[in-house]
Amino acid sequence: MMVARKVVHIITRLDQGGSARNTMLTVLGHDRTQFEPVVVTGQADMWNAQGGLTATIENLMILEKESIRYHMIPSLVRQISPKADLTALWKLIVLLRQEQPYIVHTHTSKAGVLGRLAARITGVPKIVHTPHGHVFYGHFGSISSWIFLQIERALAWITDELIALTSAEKTEHLERAIGYADRFAVIPSGIDIDRFKQARTAGKVMPDWFNCPADATVIGSVGWLTEIKGHRFLVDAVAQLKPEHPHLHLVVLGSGDQHEELLRQASKAGISQTVHLVGRRDDVEIALAGMDCFVLPSLNEGMGRALVEAMAAGLPVIAGRVGGVPALIEDEKNGLLVPAGDSLALAAALRRILSDPIWARSLGQNAMQSIGTGYGVPAMVRAIESIYREVAVGHA
């Protein structure tokens, strides 16, 4: 009888962010006869934009219910803190010596640095890392970005396999001399495809909590209200279009530190009654059913889980040409790509969608057809487990 190989997943924040959701789906989906998952996470702030400590506790309760062991390391934090980082590294070393896993699978940049170092120091046989995007631009200044780049280049030498969410993300890493093409897999982040493909079967149905008039044309977006998500450019684009499209409304799902700033921006532009920031929702498919178009205005994005969900729902989509997005959208075929951070270009793209509903509908249908079973959760988990088996070859 084969003993299940222990896999320790390390992530900085187990909240409601895309990387955390990806990690949770992977862990919960593992074939327990072959892999024994253990989760290590940092402790989120009480009011973090992505659900914070409340979301973390909810996820840990799910793990408990499924009899999956976990460890919380409070010093494993996202921001750079030499004291906390050294403490977290030491705790990870102690923890990995106790657990003695066969594989350490790290997720996101900070956990990827400290987790891989700890795995190397403790002699863990195999190391796998999923960046879930990158921090080479959009997040930090040029000096900090350069330092991160050098760290990632060095750590690639001790990593058995890197996993990108899209081919574009893989290309961006390889172009920066991070990793090797033959040790860099592409596995899309899994979503519940059926749930979203059925979202609009009854046509457009606006939920009451949109607080939009019945005749509203709804531009929608889903994402945490943080700088990197670029919502300010979307608000600006809507302000430009409002005079020619008086029934236009913007609905954004998500919470974050930009909430009040975005409301001020809308007020200053005279569109306070047009912009609806409805907070974080778990029933995203219901929101997608009430939208006419979906926009992902991010300045940097690993894949864009919300974008994949909107495409699966058959909405015409517009997104910035960043990160892994161009791997999802073929411009003018199943969506529109615009330069990130350009509200004029975004307004022009929205104008095209709004002025030609028949074409917009065909874009949405093409988007839905382009999201195949490869984007499902089972496909993602099986592909990741296949990577584990591949890296295990040659090591008894």
Contact 189, 308 (CB under 8 A): yes
Indicate the domain borders of the chain. 5-190+376-392, 193-373
Sign for the CA dihedral angle at 99, 156, 326, 233 comes to positive
The CATH code that applies to domain 5-190+376-392 is 3.40.50.2000
CA distances from 335 to 109, 199, 290, 341 (A): 30, 18, 18, 18
- Residue 327's identity, in one-letter code, is A
Strand order in the sheet with 5-11: 69-72, 35-41, 5-11, 103-107, 126-130, 161-164, 184-186
Q: Which residues have a Cβ under 8 Å from the Cβ of 195 and sit 6 or more positions away?
A: 285
Rounded to whole angstroms, the Cα distance separating 98 from 118 reads 12
**pLDDT, one tens digit for every residue, the chain (396 residues):** 568 999 999 999 898 778 898 999 999 999 999 999 999 999 766 445 556 778 888 999 999 999 999 999 999 987 778 899 999 999 999 999 999 999 999 998 889 999 999 999 999 999 999 998 766 655 455 777 788 889 999 999 999 999 998 888 898 889 999 999 999 999 988 888 999 999 999 999 999 999 999 999 999 999 989 898 999 999 999 999 999 999 999 999 998 889 999 999 999 999 999 999 999 888 999 999 999 999 999 998 877 889 999 999 999 999 999 888 898 899 999 999 999 999 999 999 999 999 999 999 999 999 999 998 888 999 999 999 999 999 988 543
Asked if the 193-373 domain carries CATH number 3.40.50.720, the reply is no
- Residue 72's identity, in one-letter code, is M
Domains 5-190+376-392 and 193-373 share a fold: yes
Question: How many Å is the Cα radius of gyration of the chain?
Answer: 21
Does this model's pTM top 0.85? no
